[in-house]
Chains A and B, each alone.
Chain A
């Protein structure tokens, strides 16, 4: 729930157009078609149980309230079910808009540690959910399969290729991944 507080009015003639352009480029090309009907939020299973409000986020983005939008924790409650996208009468593609806003948020350093860890696992093992215990291999054998599947789990070259591309694009730095941790830094825990 929000509580009313005194605020200066938003000047719609001087909104942060760069932010809107960023969103349009990364997956929300139709964001400016939104006429605030609220079908998205009415269809949203995340909004039914959290303070995540698609409609509000879109309006805030159009008002250029970048900081407020990208720093809001509820931005990460969208399960990307696309129910809003399938019902939006303006083809705003709200799910893609949210993902685009998340891209901007991450670029500015707003990311959750558990998500960062998932991304790091892909760079380390080639898989977000890796075959990291013997029990998982045993499970495979119980199902009548070979202990290692023919993917990144049996071929270290897979993760190596991903790391090379991540280094080239700067994604490794974005998520704080390093294959050689600085020796001065003490291990956590």
Chain B
């Protein structure tokens, strides 16, 4: 029997601290697929690519490299379910392997805590592992609860596939990989004009000016409605998810417009399609539901809610 593939599970900040349902859903999905997710003890913030990348490239790469050394020492590649974490860790790993001057500066900082970046690990996103390691065939085989008749809008986000020349993941103008993974669940893909547009949160913009960040988000929502609407929006990134999920509450406050979209991370969509119940990973714990005192629209999502007596 061949050995089970194993990855360090890089959690970052938003998944474990604000949307832990994604962390649990990923554990369920990867376990079903026979892939081990290993605890990455001692990992920190990736660090946040918008703020740190904009503030000080060397310190940004230093903190990212510290995380990479944990994977290097353990001898396994790492995987993350966050486009932002992927941006910091993948980019830093790539730049540190190419840029000797940067690497020397970073290793001078790492020496302070007895660590050294060696360039021996690989950074992946859940999408890479789902598509390239598990494979589409296996994903489809595990679907026991197809989302037949559910209209799904996608928000692929930016940092898994861009910049395309460097990342070499997908055609960033006409991407198909994320869509294929989501379509494996049987949900109906709804194309909308602004699908490939940024959610507005990245680059430290959400922190700088939440209203401007939400204008992006609002444009995306209107674009989905113009395409006939969707029952669920699916994204591979918790920061985008936060922006699309909590963003609805914020948009209502700031712009006085109400949108009612359920938003899921691709790990959650797959967990449900693989037959797991929403309460197994806490789908209803998404922040918009807590803020609005609502629940996911079970009927529209074709999911049965936990029997509440």
Q: Which residues of A contact B (CB under 8 A)?
A: 26-27, 45-46, 49-50, 76-83, 85-86, 91, 93, 95, 99-100, 102-103, 106-107, 111-112, 114-115, 118-119, 122, 126-131, 136, 139-140, 142-145, 149-153, 155, 157-159, 161-162, 164-166, 168-169, 171, 174-175
Q: In the complex, A132→B96 CA distance in Å?
A: 32
Q: Can you give 8 contacting A-B residue pairs, CB < 8 Å?
A: A45-B198, A79-B213, A80-B49, A81-B162, A115-B204, A115-B207, A143-B21, A165-B59
Given contacts A126-B45, A128-B51, contact A165 B110 (CB under 8 A): yes
8 tightest A-B contacts by CB? A143-B282, A82-B162, A81-B198, A80-B203, A149-B16, A129-B13, A102-B54, A79-B203
Task: Please tell me if the beta carbons of B280 and A168 are within 8 angstroms of each other in the complex.
Answer: no
Task: Please tell me if the beta carbons of B16 and A140 are within 8 angstroms of each other in the complex.
Answer: yes
Task: Please tell me if the beta carbons of B285 and A168 are within 8 angstroms of each other in the complex.
Answer: no
Question: Is the C-beta of B52 less than 8 angstroms from some C-beta in chain A?
Answer: yes
Task: Please tell me if the beta carbons of A152 and B43 are within 8 angstroms of each other in the complex.
Answer: yes
Question: Is the C-beta of B202 less than 8 angstroms from some C-beta in chain A?
Answer: yes
Question: Is the C-beta of B18 less than 8 angstroms from some C-beta in chain A?
Answer: yes
Task: Please tell me if the beta carbons of B56 and A171 are within 8 angstroms of each other in the complex.
Answer: yes
Chain B residues near A81 (CB, 8 Å)?
158, 162, 197-198, 202-203
Task: Please tell me if the beta carbons of B24 and A150 are within 8 angstroms of each other in the complex.
Answer: no
Chain A residues near B49 (CB, 8 Å)?
80
Chain B residues near A158 (CB, 8 Å)?
42-44
Chain B residues near A157 (CB, 8 Å)?
42
Nearest opposing residue in chain B for A167, CB measure: B112
Interface residues of B in 151-171 (CB under 8 A from A): 158-159, 162-165
Task: Please tell me if the beta carbons of B14 and A83 are within 8 angstroms of each other in the complex.
Answer: no
Q: Which residues of B contact A (CB under 8 A)?
A: 11, 13-14, 16-18, 20-21, 23-24, 39-45, 47-59, 62-63, 66, 87, 108-110, 112-113, 158-159, 162-165, 172-173, 196-198, 200-205, 207-209, 212-213, 215-216, 219, 280-282, 285
Chain A residues near B59 (CB, 8 Å)?
165-166, 169, 171
Task: Please tell me if the beta carbons of B216 and A165 are within 8 angstroms of each other in the complex.
Answer: no
Q: In the complex, A166→B52 CA distance in Å?
A: 12
Given contacts A86-B165, A118-B48, A139-B285, contact A169 B58 (CB under 8 A): yes
Chain B residues near A103 (CB, 8 Å)?
54-57
Chain A residues near B20 (CB, 8 Å)?
139-140, 142-143, 145, 149
Centre residue among A83, A107, A149, A162 by max chain B CB count within 10 A: A149
Chain B residues near A130 (CB, 8 Å)?
13, 17
Chain B residues near A168 (CB, 8 Å)?
108-109, 112
Task: Please tell me if the beta carbons of B44 and A152 are within 8 angstroms of each other in the complex.
Answer: yes
Nearest opposing residue in chain B for A126, CB measure: B44
Q: In the complex, A26→B205 CA distance in Å?
A: 21
Nearest opposing residue in chain A for B196, CB measure: A83
Task: Please tell me if the beta carbons of B52 and A80 are within 8 angstroms of each other in the complex.
Answer: no
Q: In the complex, A49→B214 CA distance in Å?
A: 11
Query: Which of B18, B158, B197 is A80 in contact with, Cβ under 8 Å?
Result: B158
| Seed contacts A129-B13, A142-B282, A145-B20; 4 additional CB < 8 Å A-B pairs | A76-B208, A112-B208, A165-B63, A168-B112
Task: Please tell me if the beta carbons of A128 and B162 are within 8 angstroms of each other in the complex.
Answer: no
Task: Please tell me if the beta carbons of B18 and A136 are within 8 angstroms of each other in the complex.
Answer: yes
The minimal Cβ–Cβ distance linking A44 to chain B, given in whole angstroms, is 10
Chain A residues near B215 (CB, 8 Å)?
49
Q: In the complex, A152→B52 CA distance in Å?
A: 18
Q: In the complex, A71→B24 CA distance in Å?
A: 44
The minimal Cβ–Cβ distance linking A179 to chain B, given in whole angstroms, is 16
Q: In the complex, A142→B213 CA distance in Å?
A: 30
Given contacts A143-B23, A149-B11, A157-B42, contact A49 B57 (CB under 8 A): no
Chain A residues near B54 (CB, 8 Å)?
76, 99, 102-103, 106, 115
Q: In the complex, A139→B287 CA distance in Å?
A: 10
Given contacts A79-B216, A85-B163, A93-B163, contact A122 B203 (CB under 8 A): no
The minimal Cβ–Cβ distance linking B104 to chain A, given in whole angstroms, is 13
The minimal Cβ–Cβ distance linking B267 to chain A, given in whole angstroms, is 12
Task: Please tell me if the beta carbons of B42 and A169 are within 8 angstroms of each other in the complex.
Answer: no
Query: Which of B11, B109, B159 is A165 in contact with, Cβ under 8 Å?
Result: B109
The minimal Cβ–Cβ distance linking B98 to chain A, given in whole angstroms, is 12
Task: Please tell me if the beta carbons of B163 and A82 are within 8 angstroms of each other in the complex.
Answer: yes
Q: In the complex, A100→B18 CA distance in Å?
A: 30
The minimal Cβ–Cβ distance linking A73 to chain B, given in whole angstroms, is 9
Nearest opposing residue in chain A for B15, CB measure: A149
Task: Please tell me if the beta carbons of A151 and B57 are within 8 angstroms of each other in the complex.
Answer: no
Task: Please tell me if the beta carbons of B40 and A151 are within 8 angstroms of each other in the complex.
Answer: yes
